[in-house]
Amino acid sequence: MNLTNKQISALRAILDALIPECELSREEAARLTAEARQFYALKASDTELAEKITAALDKITPTQQQDFLQLLDLLASPALGLTWFGAIKPAYNLTLEQRTKLLHVWSNSPIGLLRQGFQALKKFAMFLLYGYSEEAAPNLTWEAIGYPGPLSKPPSAEAAPRPILPLNSSLSERKSSSLVQLQCDVVIVGSGAGGGVVAGELAEAGFDVIVVEKGHYFAEQDFTQREAPMIGELYEAGGGYATKNGSVSIFAGSCLGGGTTINWSAALRTPDYVLEEWAKNHANPHFTTPDYQRSFDAVEQATHVDTLESIHNTQNQALVHGAGALQYETSTIPRNSNGCAADDSACTMCGYCSLGCQRGTKTGVLKTYLQRAFERGTRFLVNANVDSLIIQNSTAIGARVTTQDSGQKVEIKAKVVVVAAGSIHTPALLIRSGLQHAHIGQHLHLHPTVSVAGVYKERVNPWHGNMMTALCNDFARQTGNWGVKLETPPIHSGLLGMALPWQGGKAHKDAMRKAAHVGAFIVLTRDRDGGRITTDKRGNPVAQYDMSAFDLKHLQRGIVEAAHIHAAAGATELYLPHNRFSSFDLTTPAGWTSVEQSLRTMASWKWRANDFALFSAHQMGTCRMGGNRNTHPVSPEGETYEVKNLFIADSSPFPEASGANPMLSIQAMAHYTAQGLKARFRAG
């Protein structure tokens, strides 16, 4: 994205306040290594951070780009002074002290757009400062914070050739500006947990299938273990997708295999009480049948789900130990992997599989269902946008596609259309295609999540080992079936920089210096009250979401319990996920008293959007399934009520939030839908 000289100057100035050169006392400097002193002397402009952010803006959505440009225009205007009751000058004419004060004012401002602006700047800056690297130029911060960076290079193309050959090369060879027309039995939009399963099941039953994926095809040879570049390639909007108000950072897969290529390998079934809700409250009787359980069995077998390779790393051990000390129960999370190391000392690379698995041992749909589909003749079109579906006489008959690399227009005709583009893009595609059901886009659930971090005396190295293997479920049903789960996330330097609170440049650097000793627990909320997906003027999806008081109450309880578990596990310091706090010292009675006083008054804190950092790796709903066609766009068979032969096979038909990592839930639902498709339609 091109910025004006004033915009880039304002951005550089504010980044140097977020990440300044820090003065050290003589005593501090004497205690530090040369690398640490250089780290404190490093400022944002030394790393060309503004230029990196400018490049990252190309990947976010047009709506987000417009909002960020307006933010830069404000920073470059003398009217900026009105936002912090300071000098009537643009950011580049303010002193460092003034710019720092501005950031503090914005972070707790009563004006939502200013808090949103602060969070946008902080997230971009910290993620790229600590997460960006090039193969020939390691990140300048890593040695000082103890982060090792990539552990190995990916295998060569000769050692690990891509086993799937997409159609794109043959289309490019045509060098034609005319419309390309393709025919098949079934066209599937999206290749993630749902689309991948349907593709494999139908291809093995003899159906001629075409899969269209808007992301690229990446395999072992492409996974560099470099955090920012990999997230930029593999995730939705380069990892920068967020709700309209910026309050929830949304991580979703955008590559062949979708979320199963980059998820944390947790493979949890939908809880029985949730399936009973979906059946009873939404007229979906099949969710409680033996046939549906057999779909779970089938996908678990196909994707090699078990607990044999769920080895607790130090971070997961802390959750187990701390929870046990408080007499809370934990369980081991099954994972979809086949061939990970049998002991923790040898499986360090598993901590990097959210950036793609170099060893090919993560058995997502890319390695299982999609591979089987390709071997049975399924065609793949990647790096391609589905502009709209082709609908005639209220019947779906295909899809209109544009390839991103060449702009080639492709029209795919099919007997059946399956949309599996995820809960963000599926409703937007249906709306662009003319569907008008009032509930399309509604009931968006995100499992909103915060991170509570503890600092431990011993090294935790939270980027090593299986990233999520322990689960505390004791608070999952606080109010009826609503509550939170406590788990552990993958921690790499960029995401840690994003998640830690900012109370000043030196305080944030102090926290990052302890990165190797940090263990984090995530508080994952099963949200009852969701948001919605709307579309902008181009038809692109826009996520609208505000956390309700009902769901927030459960999140707050989870924060309290996560803090107690850290203390019970031996943490010496605690970081709460709120702008008003930096950290708490747990080594003294006074420090713990301060924590307890803060936790007791939690309900009185300000919990407005962007007062605290929320994340989502799970998006559900927006085209919910049910027996009442007036309130549910999708039937229990997976077909839309509005258009015949149009099926939805991703997380968007979830009637309510799954309450557990949704990958296995999506796969089971897609598998069950695929059995109905095989029974109803004839291949060939």
Q: Which pLDDT score, from 0 to 100, does residue 227 have? A: 97
- Please state, in angstroms and rounded to a whole number, the distance separating the CA atoms of residues 194 and 190: 8
pLDDT at 136: 81
**Residue 7 structural domain:** 1-140
The answer as to whether 107 is a domain residue is: yes
pLDDT digits (tens, 9 = 90+) for 628-653: 999 999 999 999 999 999 999 999 99
CA distance 362 to 342: 14
> Is position 431 within any domain?
no
* Average pLDDT of the residues in 549-576: 97
Q: Residue 352's pLDDT is what?
A: 92
**Cβ count within 10 A of residue 343:** 8
pLDDT at 295 over 70: yes
Cα 554 from chain centroid? Answer: 21
The residue behind tokens 């990252």 is 56
* pLDDT for position 135: 87
pLDDT-based confidence at residue 1 (cuts at 50, 70, 90): confident
Q: 639 - beta bridge partners?
A: 647
Residue 440 tokens read as: 């399309």
Q: Is the pLDDT of residue 333 over 60?
A: yes
Asked whether the predicted pLDDT for residue 346 surpasses 60, the reply is no
**How many domains, the chain?**
1
pLDDT higher than 70, residue 597: yes
Q: Is the pLDDT of residue 343 over 80?
A: no
Closest residue by Cα to residue 521 from 483, 477, 484, 546: 484
Inform me whether the pLDDT recorded for 344 exceeds 60. Answer: no
Q: How far is CA 217 from the centre of its chain?
A: 19
**pTM metric for this prediction:** 0.96
Residue 530 phi/psi, 5-degree rounding, is -95, -170
Would strands 518-525 and 449-455 be described as parallel, antiparallel, or unpaired? antiparallel
Query: How far apart, in Å, do the first and last CA atoms of the chain sit?
Result: 47
Looking at the domain assignment, is residue 80 inside a domain? yes
Q: Does residue 121 lie in a domain region?
A: yes
**240-287 per-position pLDDT tens digit:** 999 999 999 999 999 999 999 999 999 999 999 999 999 999 999 999
**Using 50, 70 and 90 to split pLDDT, how confident is the model at 684?**
confident
| Mean pLDDT value across residues 49-78 | 97
Point out which residues pair with 180 in neighbouring strands.
410
Which two three-digit tokens encode residue 441? 């886009």
Say yes or no to pLDDT of 40 above 70: yes
- Stretch 542-565: mean pLDDT: 97
Beta bridge partners of 445: 620
> Quick one: pLDDT at residue 339?
87
H or E stretch covering 105: helix 96-107
> Average pLDDT in the 498-516 region?
95
User: Pairing relation of β-strands 305-306 and 335-336?
Assistant: antiparallel
Give the integer Cα–Cα distance in Å for 316 and 468.
Answer: 7
Spell out the alpha helix ranges (H) of 209-331. Answer: 227-234, 259-262, 272-282, 290-302, 314-325
| Residue owning tokens 């440049």 | 505
Give dist(CA 276, CA 203) in Å, integer: 32
pLDDT at 176 over 70: no
How much is the mean pLDDT over the chain? 95
Q: Please name every residue paired with 410 in a beta bridge, in sequence order, or none if there are none.
A: 180, 401
Check whether 128 has a pLDDT greater than 60: yes
Higher-confidence residue of 350 and 211: namely 211
DSSP letter, residue 546: -
What CA–CA distance (Å, rounded) separates 162 from 4? 42
pLDDT at position 121: 98
Enter the tokens of residue 132: 């960006």
- Identify the bridge partners of residue 574 per DSSP, sorted by sequence position: 454, 584
pLDDT at 483: 98
Residue 590 included in any domain: no
* Closest to 371 in 3D by CA, of 204, 155, 253: 204
What pLDDT is stored for residue 175 in this prediction? 59
User: Which whole number is the average pLDDT over 134-159?
Assistant: 92
Identify whether 125 is part of a domain: yes
CA-based R_g, the chain, Å: 25
* DSSP H or E run through 199: helix 193-204
In this prediction, residue 629 carries a pLDDT of 98
**Structure confidence at residue 41 as a pLDDT band (50, 70, 90):** very high
Coil/strand/helix, residue 317: helix
Q: How confident is the model at residue 350 (pLDDT cuts 50, 70, 90)?
A: confident
Between 137 and 488, the higher pLDDT residue: 488
Tokens of 446: 């995100």
pLDDT tops 90 at residue 35: yes
The model's pLDDT over 457-478, given as tens digits with 9 standing for 90+, comes to: 999 999 999 889 999 999 999 9
Residue 73 pLDDT grade (very low, low, confident, very high; cuts 50, 70, 90): very high
* Nearest to 331, CA basis, from 472, 213, 235: 472
At position 455, the amino acid (one-letter code) is V
Tell me how far apart the alpha carbons of residues 502 and 484 are, in angstroms, rounded to a whole number. 26
pLDDT at 580: 83
Rounded Cα distance, 432 and 425, in Å: 10
Which 3 state secondary structure label does DSSP give 445? strand
> What pLDDT does 43 receive?
97
pLDDT in the model for residue 138: 86
Q: Is the residue at 104 inside a domain?
A: yes
Neighbours of 243 (CB within 10 A): 22
DSSP annotation string for 123-136:
HHHHHHHHH--BTT
Q: Structure tokens of 2?
A: 């091109």
- Structure confidence at residue 615 as a pLDDT band (50, 70, 90): very high
- Give the mean pLDDT of 600-604: 91
Once rounded to an integer, what is the mean pLDDT over residues 155-169?
A: 91
The band of 171, judged by pLDDT with boundaries at 50, 70 and 90, is: confident
> E strand or H helix at 511, and its extent?
helix 505-512
pLDDT, residue 340, reads 81
Share of the chain above pLDDT 90, in %: 92
Helix, strand, coil shares of the chain as percentages rounded to 5? 40, 20, 40
pLDDT in the model for residue 347: 62
Mean pLDDT of the region 52-72: 96
Element (H, E) at 68: helix 62-75
What's the pLDDT score for residue 174?
Answer: 62
User: What's the pLDDT score for residue 192?
Assistant: 98
